[in-house]
């Protein structure tokens, strides 16, 4: 075992042995399955994400790519296929060979929301993907630009709501595209608070953040990636959308604490393999991903994006099922439609 593996506290042989114990559940003791687990992987692995560099999904992809390279002993590359709220990347993985060498790293909206709002989608999550592991979960952070033409005086959520009520339809909010959870979440805020704002869709959340920094829009539900912008004074945080305050912004209230109870929005980022990937390979992959808890560098990268989860596939699948149903109710209740 080389020094890097010893430092991480993990070893490829241990990962391969753990796979035989059934990280996803017990596997049949077939010679072909055993042989595959012993020979896999023997070539580079690709992590495909449907979001651009600088996004939260890109961040966890790169944190896990280096960890998997060390554990599995093969090159692991990250490829960004940004567009259509993660659909382009998801579609590419859905078409990929079911051999474990092409994996999807994506967020909750591309799996739980896209199928319910897009008339034509080139993938069906429950048909095309097998959950490997949730990586992180996080709330959104409601932010404005303190130098914005309309938002310079906005110090709190109540200030923002009062401004929106005084100018119906004038305030603009951005998102990473139609159907993105930031879009749906802000429509929930609109409906709950009784305000009218205009949606400005961008190609990605990163582009929406750039738009807010450039004063193209007034307000945004951003991810924890934006914390450095808040601490530097470039953006002002008004509230977080989770059930509790965010660890890196303890002074920022939740929406409920700020005066808007009943609106709670969190998202997750996770990994999937194409349906049909051999069970032995899925076990190896899951155990390799889960071992990131023993890798201080990987954990640091994951923590920048949210709360580290690294859940078992069965738990991940259960959360996807529950959130798909919950977001379906929100979409119908809030009468959210695409332009």
Do 30 and 76 lie in a common domain?
yes
State the total domains in the chain.
2
Do 63 and 162 lie in a common domain?
no
Residue 41, in any domain of the structure: yes
Residue 23, in any domain of the structure: yes
Residue 338, in any domain of the structure: no
Cα separation of 28 and 166, whole Å? 65
Task: Record the tokens describing residue 139, joined without a space.
Answer: 């709330």
Do 167 and 122 lie in a common domain?
no
Residue 303, in any domain of the structure: yes
Q: Are strands 307-308 and 102-107 parallel, antiparallel or unpaired?
A: unpaired
Picking from 280, 243, 288, the residue whose alpha carbon sits closest to that of residue 73 is 288
16: confidence class by pLDDT, cuts 50, 70, 90: very low
Domain of residue 113: give its range: 3-138+267-333
Do 92 and 193 lie in a common domain?
no
Do 146 and 123 lie in a common domain?
no
The domain boundary, picked from 240, 258, 276, lies at 258
Do 41 and 127 lie in a common domain?
yes
The mean pLDDT value of the chain amounts to: 88
pLDDT digits (tens, 9 = 90+) for 235-256: 999 999 999 999 999 999 999 9
The domain boundary, picked from 208, 235, 258, lies at 258
Do 124 and 148 lie in a common domain?
no
- pLDDT of 195 higher than 90: yes
pLDDT at 37: 53
The domain boundary, picked from 258, 289, 316, lies at 258
């069970």: which residue's tokens? 279
Task: Report the SS3 class of residue 56.
Answer: helix
271 phi and psi angles, rounded to 5 deg: -120, 145
Do 131 and 75 lie in a common domain?
yes
Residue 167, in any domain of the structure: yes
Report the CATH number that the domain containing residue 237 is assigned in CATH. Answer: 3.40.190.10
Do 154 and 85 lie in a common domain?
no
pLDDT at 111: 96
Residue 288, in any domain of the structure: yes
Do 203 and 293 lie in a common domain?
no
Picking from 258, 297, 7, 313, the residue whose alpha carbon sits closest to that of residue 135 is 313
Do 38 and 133 lie in a common domain?
yes
Do 113 and 206 lie in a common domain?
no
pLDDT digits (tens, 9 = 90+) for 286-305: 999 999 999 999 999 999 99
Percentage of the chain beyond pLDDT 90 is: 79
Scanning the chain, the segments in alpha helix (DSSP H) are 3-8, 12-19, 31-39, 56-72, 87-95, 108, 114-117, 125-128, 157-166, 181-193, 205-213, 227-231, 255-258, 279-290, 296-303, 313-333
Cα separation of 263 and 185, whole Å? 8
pTM given for the model: 0.84
């Amino acid at each position: 075992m080389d020094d890097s593996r010893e430092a991480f506290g993990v070893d490829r042989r241990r990962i391969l042995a753990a796979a035989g114990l059934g990280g996803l559940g017990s596997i049949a003791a077939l010679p072909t399955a055993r042989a595959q687990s012993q020979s896999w992987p023997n070539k580079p692995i690709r992590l495909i994400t449907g979001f651009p560099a600088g996004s939260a999904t890109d961040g966890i992809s790169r944190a896990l790519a280096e960890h998997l390279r060390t554990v599995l002993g093969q090159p692991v590359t990250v490829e960004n296929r940004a567009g259509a709220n993660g659909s382009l990347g998801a579609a590419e993985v859905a078409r990929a060979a079911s051999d474990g060498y092409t994996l999807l790293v994506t967020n909750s909206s591309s799996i739980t929301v896209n199928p319910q709002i897009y008339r034509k989608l080139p993938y069906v999550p429950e048909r095309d993907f097998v959950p490997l592991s949730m990586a992180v979960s996080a709330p959104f952070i409601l932010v404005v630009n303190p130098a914005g033409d309309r938002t310079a005086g906005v110090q709190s959520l109540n200030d923002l709501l009062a401004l929106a009520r005084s100018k119906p339809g004038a305030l603009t909010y951005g998102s990473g595209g139609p159907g993105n959870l930031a879009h749906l979440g802000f429509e929930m805020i609109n409906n709950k608070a009784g305000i009218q704002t205009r949606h400005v869709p961008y190609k990605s959340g990163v582009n929406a953040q750039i738009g807010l920094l450039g004063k193209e829009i007034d307000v945004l539900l951003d991810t924890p990636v934006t914390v450095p912008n808040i601490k530097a004074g470039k953006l002002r945080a008004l509230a977080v959308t989770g059930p509790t305050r965010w660890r890196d912004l303890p002074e920022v209230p939740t929406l409920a604490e700020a005066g808007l109870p009943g609106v709670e929005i969190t998202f997750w980022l996770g990994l999937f393999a194409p349906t049909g990937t051999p069970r032995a390979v899925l076990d190896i992959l899951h155990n390799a991903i889960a071992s990131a808890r023993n890798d201080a560098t990987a954990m640091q990268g994951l923590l920048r994006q949210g709360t580290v989860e690294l859940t078992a596939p069965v738990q991940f699948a259960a959360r996807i099922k529950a959130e798909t149903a919950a977001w379906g109710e929100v979409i119908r209740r809030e009468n959210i439609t695409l332009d």
